[in-house]
Structure formats: C-alpha cells, structure tokens
Amino acid sequence: MPTIVFLGAGSVVFTRQLATDLLRFPDLPTLTLVLHDVDAERLEVARGTVENIAAQLGKAVEIRASLDRSEALAGADFAINMIQVGGIAATRVDLELPARRGLRQTIGDTTGVGGVFRALRTFPVLSGIAADMRELCPEAIFLNYTNPMAMNVWWMSVVAPEIRTYGLCHSVYWTVHDLCELVGVPVEGTHYRAAGVNHQAWLMEWSRDGEDLYPRLRERIAADPELQRRVRVEILRRIGYYPTETSEHSAEYLDWFLRSDAQIERFRLKPLEYIGISEDNVREFEQARGILAEGGDLPLHDADDAAEYAPQIIHSLLTGTAREIHVNVPNTGLIAELPEGAAVEVPATVDGSGVHPETWGALPPAGAALNRTYLSVADLTVRAMLDGDPELVRRAVLLDANASSTLTPDEIWDLCDELTAAHAAFLPTSLGGTLAGTS
C-alpha cells in the first residue's frame, strides 16, 4: 500500500486540494495518507478533511495523523512538503518591518528580504526532514511546495543530494490557463513549455494546432490600455517573453515597480498584499473547521481544476502513465546560461520509471540575466546558512533589486538586524538566532 506523507498538513485548504486530486484517480491502489503538523488543532482538522473527502468520493483510504515527524515519515514512499515555519506571525514580520523603513513588498515569500528570511527559517527544518528521511525512508521522493522554492530545492540538493527532490509549483499551468482565456482559446490541447527559475520562468513555447499564440496576445494587449498596466505585460514588453508568476509576485523581483508611488499607481500594485491573503487562509481554515464540526461536507474543486503536480507525479510513478509537467531541480547542465547547481524550473516527463527533467536550449539573454540576479540572492542565502555567516545574509539582501532600489546599505544592514532579532527562535545561533540545532 503506497504511503504518502503530508508535511504541514495543517494547511488544510492545500491538503484538501491535493487529497482530492489523489483520491479522484480511479486506477490508483488503496493509499495510506499520513498527516503531520506541529499544531494539534490544525492536524485534527486535516484528519477530518481527508476523512470527509474520502467519504464524499467513496474511496477506501488509510488515514493516520501524527504530531511526531519521525513517526509520520517511517516507511514513506512520498513526502509532500508544504510547511510554513513561523506561520502568519512570521509573514507579518517579513512584510511589516521592511515597510516601516520604506521597503515595499507585495508577497515577500520568494526572494528579497522576505524570501531570504523565510528561507533561513525553513532550512533548519528541511535539514531535520532530510535526516529523518535518510534514516526512515531513504527511497522516498520528496515533493516540495514550500517557498522560497528556488532556495529550498537548492538547500536540499546540498544537504541531502541522495534524496530525490522535486520542487512543484502551479504557476506555469495557471499562467497558460489565464492567457488562453485572455486570447479566447481553450487551454486543452494547447502546447506550452517554460524554462528559467521558479516564479521567474519564461513562457518559451505557447501554441495551438501549430499556431504561435504570442501574436494574438500582443494584439489583445495593444487593444486594451488597462492590460498595459499589468506588471507581467510590462515585463513581456521589455524582455520579449511572458513570465510565469503573477504580477503581484513579479513586481518585487525587479527594481522597476515598487520603488515609487507613481509606479505602484501605474501598475495597480498593493504592497503588503500577502498579509490579506494569509488572513483569508486563516478564515478558510476556520470555515473548514466549522463545517466539519457541524457534520457537513467540505466543498471540493472541480476535477478540471486539478492543476497540482504532486498527485500527477504519484499517479504516473504508480501506474506508469506518461505525462509532461514542470519541475524545479538542481541545474546539472539543464540550462547552460544559469549557474550549475542552482535550482531551475524546466519541463520534465514523468512515467513509471521516474521524473526526467529536460535539458533546455537557450533562454532569452535578458531573461537569463534577470534569472542570474534572482539566483545570486538564493546562492548567498544558501551559503550564509552553510557557513554560518551573518554578513552573507545582508549581502544577499543587498543584491536584491527591489531592496537596493529603496534602501541604502546601512539601512539594509540595520533591517537585517531587526529581522534577525524578530525571528531569533527560528534561526541558528551562528546567524544571530537562538536555535541550537538544525532539526
């Protein structure tokens, strides 16, 4: 009986989506779904969520829940990671402390100062997960959803290169889905492929029945002045290819957008937006808890909206079904213009024999240049944790385009001091925190 572990299962909306997609496959064997979280209340709601889904879909499934990570991982075949170290409180710190100094972020979970400190909180937990997997389920596949994706996949490749790790993100799928709706073609039957870095990959191929759909997109943009106020449209205009993450995210990866009130107004941006999104997630958890407490059924997404790659990978490996997805993996010559070893996002085929990332051709030169800046921040963050060097943390933030467009080096150093103090419980002593171990 295949065993799938959900790490951070208290993210119950995401747990609901993944479990629903898995249990909707009619040709999978009976599964064991093991739920783990450090919050007992959230874990109990996660258990109730999966039980409710199985009942609605009429599927037999073994469900276990444990607050003990080692117990949860014992004998696993797949481990799906969706932890958020520090929860919404840490997210508020990542966004609000920089904002007090004038540094504006929209999401703050991927790169920049928010992404750097989110990574530094997450790396020690990833190291602990890797140690448990090495001992308890060394053949298991690690499927990571936790941001910052590029940093976390890079970290796992360094501390646990023997663990098969794949970073998964739905951004490519939903980018194409939304663009197809914009130009009036169905996404089904559309050929699309992207390459680059997670949240800053480039839609390199997008066609239907042999027709390149980029000209249709450009015509649609030219006819609508409001579309020209989208961050991603501006990036397309300047770089030549469409990026695969939302405008809200994309705005903070560059120094073009959040540096002034005029640009924020022009591109309709909402600094600190992720705080509201996080609060919505808390409300969704509370709604799910209430529905389950009253004995009701949780709403399930439509089968046509099954965009997550983890269930697809598991299905392909267990049934031999071949499909193409996009994955984040270490760069072993996959993209020549990007640093070796860095985590890159590329197309991959998956079947009964495994996940097979594709070696990509050339990226657009300007796109590759932006990717390298993004990866430089990730590189220094990984090195900071490996070396226990707090100066590298500050240099990573200094290299971030958005941070350096707003703050002086002195201000960046001071801000990192503040964030280190605020997140001390999650950071190792070598970086100025109070965390003694790495697990």
The CA R_g of the chain, rounded to the nearest whole Å, is 21
Specify the length of the chain in residues.
439
Whether residue 438 has pLDDT greater than 80: no
Q: How far apart are CA 204 and CA 239, in angstroms?
A: 12
Q: How far apart are CA 168 and CA 436, in angstroms?
A: 30
In contact, 83 and 124? CB cutoff 8 Å: no
Q: How far apart are CA 224 and CA 222, in angstroms?
A: 6
pLDDT digits (tens, 9 = 90+) for 28-62: 999 999 999 999 999 999 999 999 999 999 999 99
**Is the preceding peptide bond at 148 cis, omega within 30 degrees of 0?**
yes
* Mean predicted confidence (pLDDT) in 81-104: 97
| pLDDT value for 303 | 82
pLDDT digits (tens, 9 = 90+) for 176-189: 999 999 999 999 99
pLDDT digits (tens, 9 = 90+) for 418-429: 999 999 999 999
Confidence of residue 13 (pLDDT cuts 50, 70, 90): confident
Which residue is catalytic, options 36, 170, 177, 199? Answer: 170
pLDDT digits (tens, 9 = 90+) for 399-424: 999 999 999 999 999 999 999 999 99
Is residue 177 annotated as a catalytic residue, yes or no? Answer: no
Domain ranges, ordered by start, for the chain? 3-167+295-315
Across the chain, mean pLDDT equals 96
CB atoms < 10 A from the CB of 63, how many? 18
* Residue burial 315-354, b: 16+ Cβ < 10 Å; e: rest: bbbbeeeeeebbbbbbbeebbebbbebbbbbbbbebeeee
Percent over 90 (pLDDT), the chain: 96
Whether residue 239 has pLDDT greater than 50: yes
Confidence of residue 437 (pLDDT cuts 50, 70, 90): low
| pLDDT value for 436 | 82
CA dihedral 86, 87, 89, 90 (to 10 degrees): 50
Q: How far apart are CA 387 and CA 397, in angstroms?
A: 17
Threshold 0.95, pTM exceeds? yes
Domain 3-167+295-315: give its CATH architecture. 3-Layer(aba) Sandwich (3.40)
Confidence of residue 124 (pLDDT cuts 50, 70, 90): very high
* Residue burial 149-172, b: 16+ Cβ < 10 Å; e: rest: bbbbbbbbbbbbeebbbbbbbebb
